[in-house]
Amino acid sequence: MREEIRLVGGDWSAARAESHLTRSTVTAPLLRVRVLLPELDEAAQHAVRTVYGMQAADKYGRAPGRPGNGHSKPPTT
């Protein structure tokens, strides 16, 4: 989104601030879990990927890594 704003010459500082806030909101708890509870690292990382996937699905209408978006091949039978 902020790239689109920047390309058309708009002020993208608000979009940049929102992006940084979103990233820190997700990564700060992840870091705490990874340091304090390393046995939950894999589950915590999966949760973060899920959050970003939900955000992408909301923004683009489909999740990354799903067939039809160029990130993966459709399942074969």
Higher pLDDT, 31 or 3: 31
- The arithmetic mean of pLDDT across residues 2-27, rounded, is 78
Which pLDDT value is given to residue 66?
Answer: 53
- The arithmetic mean of pLDDT across residues 69-73, rounded, is 45
Q: Is 14 exposed, middle or buried (0-12, 13-18, 19+ CB in 10 A)?
A: exposed
The total number of structural domains in the chain stands at 1
Q: Distance between CA 47 and CA 33 in Å, rounded? A: 12
Q: Please indicate, yes or no, if residue 65 is contained in any of the structural domains.
A: no
3-state SS of 23-73 is: HHHHHHHHHHHHHHCHHHHHHHHHHHHHHHHHHHHHHHCCCCCCCCCCCCC
Question: Domain limits at 35?
Answer: 2-59
Q: pLDDT tens digits for 32-50?
A: 999 999 999 999 999 988 8
Query: Residue 21 gets which letter from DSSP?
Result: H
Q: Please indicate, yes or no, if residue 68 is contained in any of the structural domains.
A: no
Q: Please indicate, yes or no, if residue 74 is contained in any of the structural domains.
A: no
**Share above pLDDT 70 across residues of the chain, in percent, rounded to a whole number:** 71
